[in-house]
């Protein structure tokens, strides 16, 4: 069955340091992959997505992610984080022709000054 694993429930990091948020998925067919960000007391906003083509995708606010088919991973990275990046980040996958998104459990990014 399709599933998404975000191994880190919380990632503390100092401002201006690099960060990587990990996401692994299980699927035997083609997938679309998404990262969403949720700021406190708000809904989810699309950060970036992988549909096909180049495995490195860039999103808003300086984030990027790399699709690795052999490792079934879609890790999110930012070279230098800001205090304003403090939020919860969700990885999501849709499989085959399905319109349903399956979400990971989320990773809380805590940026400290």
Note the residues at the interface with other proteins (CB under 8 A): 4, 6, 9, 32, 34, 36, 42-46, 49, 51, 90, 94, 97, 99-101, 103-106
Check residue 40 and report its DSSP letter: T
Q: Would the CA dihedral through 52, 54, 56, 60 be positive or negative?
A: negative
Reduced to 3 states (helix: H, G, I; strand: E, B; else coil), residue 45 is strand
Shorter beta-carbon distance to other proteins: residue 30 or 80: 30
Residue placing its CB nearer to other proteins in the complex, 15 or 64: 64
Q: Phi, psi at residue 84, to the nearest 5°?
A: -70, -10
C-beta of 29 vs 113, nearer to other proteins: 29
- Residue 31 CB, shortest distance to other proteins, in Å, is 11
CB of 78 to other proteins, least distance (A): 20
Least distance between other proteins and beta carbon 54 (Å) = 14
- Residues 54, 69, 97, 103: is their CA dihedral positive or negative? negative
Q: How far is CA 48 from the centre of its chain?
A: 8
């Amino acid at each position: 069955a399709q599933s998404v694993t975000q191994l880190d429930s919380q990632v503390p990091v100092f401002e201006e340091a690099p960060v990587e948020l990990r996401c692994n998925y299980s699927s035997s067919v083609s997938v679309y992959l998404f990262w969403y960000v949720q700021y406190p007391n708000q809904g989810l906003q699309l950060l970036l997505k992988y549909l096909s083509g180049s495995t490195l995708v860039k999103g808003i606010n300086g984030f990027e992610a790399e699709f690795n088919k052999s490792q079934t991973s879609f890790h999110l990275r930012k070279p230098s984080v800001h205090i304003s990046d403090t939020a919860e980040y969700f990885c999501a996958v849709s499989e085959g022709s399905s319109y349903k998104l399956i979400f990971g459990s989320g990773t809380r990014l805590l940026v400290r000054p």
